Amino acid sequence: MIRNFFLADDDPDDTDLFEEALKKIDKHIVLDTATNGKELIEKLHTGNTTPEIIFLDVNMPELDGWESLKTLKQHAGLRSIPVVMYSTSAAVLDGNKAIKAGAVCYFEKPPSFVKLKDFLEKITHTSKERLVDTLKSIEASKSHNIVVA
Amino acid sequence: MELNNEQFRADSVRNRTSEQNHTQLTAARFERMISEVEDYAIFLLDVNGNILSWNKGAEKIKGYRADEIIGKSHQLFYPPEDRERKLPQQLLEEARKNGKAVHEGWRIRKNGDPFWGNITITAIHDDFGHVTGFLKLTKDLTEKKAADDRYETLLEQLRRSEERYHKMITEVQDYAILLLDVDGNIQNWNIGAELIKGYKANEIIGKSFKNFYTTEDIINGLPDKLLKAATENGKASNEGWRRRKDGSTFWASVVITALHDEHGALIGYSKVTRDLTERKKYEDRLLNNAVELELKNHELLNLNAELSSFAYVVSHDLKEPVRKIRIFADRQLEPDNTMEDMQAFARKIISSAERMQALMESVLLYSRISNENMEQETIDLNDVLKSVKNDLELVIQDSKAQITATRLPAIKGIRFQMHQLFLNLLSNAMKFSKPGLPPEISISARLVPFSSFPEELPLADRNYHQIIFADNGIGFEQDQAEKIFDVFKRLKQKEDLTGTGIGLSIVKKAALNHHGYVTAESVPGKGSQFHVFLPAIE
């Protein structure tokens, strides 16, 4: 069961929605947030947070999603944390780029709160080991705009 | 020959002197000597022209033996046409009158062959002055005559060939072919020269070839340099603008060749000139086309980059508020909403819609920064700055901003775009000022040297104005210096700022549209400098 989430996103609305969705799924789920990639990396380095999965918005100031992903994948201690690229841009546009850069999947920000909650719920119900399988089944169900490795 | 005749006459007179015995002996010896002479025919004629004596030379030249010819008329030696016009009689008559007759002409040998004879007939007088006969002396000059004739023929051929050559040069129309003396003065003139340079022969011969050069070339000493090069290297070539008589110019291809006499001394120069104006114009047109093509290509590349950034704008930036409107509208439909929840969602929807509108207006403004159907005009950037400061009057007052500027240049361009460029750079500088520190913005301009151009500038051979906007604001990390110009790119978090992030994109697009460029440099906390490059008016 995945219980520790991290979201890096500069959009306060999206951060609020994300947090609310997780709370509604299970109020014991831990969410840490950063408003850009730089803050994310700093928080990870200080060791105060140990996420099991990281959601990365693409368009962020300072260090954007792509640069953050690259930094994470170059770092031995952080490389193993699965990263979900999480952005408004269409999955068909940026999906493959995300996979190539080492993300576990690209998840297009959904147009409803229910869908977001549904997706996160499926993540919380799986284990770190079965994460990819879960994502693949979501992709196969076509219930979300997602590209999986 | 002359001497011989005189002597002979003197001797014949002396025959009748008192020293008769001695003289007779001498005369006999003399006669003997004459008869032995081989190179000259020497013989005596009576008053009627009949032959009285014969010598070896006569036999050798004319082919008759003495016994065959003595007593016959000397007319025998003349060709029929000379006999007919009584040349033999005339010559005797002349000798009778003047004492002597000299003639050169064709004579006939015994075997009928002609020979070229040089003849002197001298009259012999008695003591009373009566003519008693003639001494005729003939030399065979056939070989000399033949040599003379050959020489004449050669001379004639040479003369004709020279004439043909001269005519040929005179008639050539496509080339000006001139001879110059060692000082560069014109010696001859052909039709080509007249057609190309416009002078008639009598107007220019004797004058210096410098007349064809432009004032600038003469000041730079080009004509002398060419003559010097031709003298040193045998030949000098040059292409350049030359002047016609009427002052108009033509593009000339010139070859000057040094001419030497047989001892190798310089005697002058030949100068061949072609008018290549049409070719030059064609080449220049090609070059201009290439430059234009390069600019168009550059514009296309910019347009292409712009199109892909538009695709991104649509796929991301415009999509974002729509997604949020959908989410919050959807949430309003949730069954257990409180009144506060409903109002919060409504506010989110409204702000998303507002953001959407702002973005669309930005995109519209950005698309208006286009060269389509825009008239270029000369724009005084001082005026642009003034009107932008006017637009920003309230912001300047509120922020207590100090804006100083040195004298700015005038450029060729589109006023609206320059206005937007200044507007966005100034409002940006004020927007990103340090809290509690009134913005100080200084604007200066300079003409940049070739070497310091950013490589993105499309026209490397042109002068550019560099306009520097320096502020004392918060600045940014230098590695963001290119990104800040991207469409809708913001370096600060969304909640921190007003605006859409299109301002610097508009600055960049306006600069690019003017075949210029914009760069930025900054140290965080120390302020930023924006460098706008715009082509100087030529």
User: What was the pLDDT predicted at B460?
Assistant: 63
Residue B520 to residue B468: CA distance in whole angstroms: 10
Tens-digit pLDDT string for chain A (149 aa): 888 999 999 889 999 999 999 999 999 999 999 999 999 999 998 877 789 999 999 888 788 899 999 999 998 888 999 999 999 888 888 899 999 999 999 999 999 999 999 999 999 999 888 999 999 999 999 889 999 98
How far CA B391 is from CA of B154, B382, B386, B409, in Å, comes to 97, 14, 9, 21
- Answer yes or no: is B146 within a domain: no
User: What was the pLDDT predicted at B453?
Assistant: 67
Which residues does B contribute to its contact with A (CB < 8 Å)?
312, 315-317, 319-320, 322-324, 326-327, 330-331, 334, 348, 490-495
Which residues does A contribute to its contact with B (CB < 8 Å)?
10-13, 17, 35-36, 58-59, 61-62, 87-90, 93, 109-114
Contact predicate B458/B294, CB 8 Å = yes
Domain count, chain B: 3
Q: How near does any CA of chain A get to the CA of B331, in Å?
A: 7
User: What was the pLDDT predicted at A22?
Assistant: 95
- Answer yes or no: is B269 within a domain: yes
Looking at the fold, whether B447 and B389 belong to one and the same domain comes out as yes
Looking at the fold, whether B192 and B129 belong to one and the same domain comes out as no
Q: What are phi and psi of B347, to 5 degrees?
A: -65, -40
Structure tokens at B77: 């030696």
Q: What are phi and psi of B150, to 5 degrees?
A: -60, -45
Residue A34 to residue B252: CA distance in whole angstroms: 74
Helices B415-431 and B503-513 cross at an angle (nearest 10°) of 150
- Answer yes or no: is B339 within a domain: no
Looking at the fold, whether B132 and B180 belong to one and the same domain comes out as no
Residue A109 to residue B84: CA distance in whole angstroms: 136
- Answer yes or no: is B394 within a domain: yes
Residue B504 to residue B481: CA distance in whole angstroms: 11
Query: Whole-structure pTM over 0.95, yes or no?
Result: no
Q: Quote the domain boundaries for residue B394.
A: 372-538
Model confidence over A72-83: pLDDT tens digits?
A: 999 888 899 999
Inspect the interface and report whether the beta carbons of B316 and A11 lie closer than 8 Å: no
Count of CA atoms in the C-beta half-sphere (13 A) of B390: 7
- Answer yes or no: is B477 within a domain: yes
Residues of A in contact with B492 (CB under 8 A): 61
- Answer yes or no: is B537 within a domain: yes
Name, in order, each residue with C-beta under 8 angstroms of B35's C-beta and a sequence gap of 6 or more.
B53, B54, B55, B56
For B491, the closest of A61, A88, A90 (CB atoms) is: A61
Residue B377 to residue B414: CA distance in whole angstroms: 6
Residue A40 to residue B5: CA distance in whole angstroms: 141
Last residue of a domain, one of B242, B275, B308: B275
Residues of A in contact with B319 (CB under 8 A): 88-90
Q: What are the 10-residue block averages of pLDDT along chain B, 538 residues in total? A: 50 56 76 83 91 91 91 92 92 91 92 92 90 92 89 91 83 87 91 91 92 91 92 91 92 92 90 91 87 82 77 78 92 91 93 87 80 79 94 90 94 91 92 90 86 65 88 88 75 51 86 89 90 88
Structure tokens at B81: 């046409």
Letter for the amino acid at B244? Answer: R
Looking at the fold, whether B381 and B468 belong to one and the same domain comes out as yes
Looking at the fold, whether B123 and B264 belong to one and the same domain comes out as no
Count of CA atoms in the C-beta half-sphere (13 A) of B235: 4
Question: What residue spans define the domains of chain A?
Answer: 4-148
Is A4-148 assigned to CATH 3.30.70.1230?
no
Looking at the fold, whether B54 and B103 belong to one and the same domain comes out as yes
Inspect the interface and report whether the beta carbons of A111 and B493 lie closer than 8 Å: no
For A89, the closest of B315, B330, B334 (CB atoms) is: B315
Is residue B176 within a helix (H) or strand (E), and if so which, with residue range? Answer: strand B175-180
Query: Predicted ipTM?
Result: 0.87
Residue B242 to residue B247: CA distance in whole angstroms: 9
For B494, the closest of A10, A89, A112 (CB atoms) is: A10
- Answer yes or no: is B163 within a domain: no
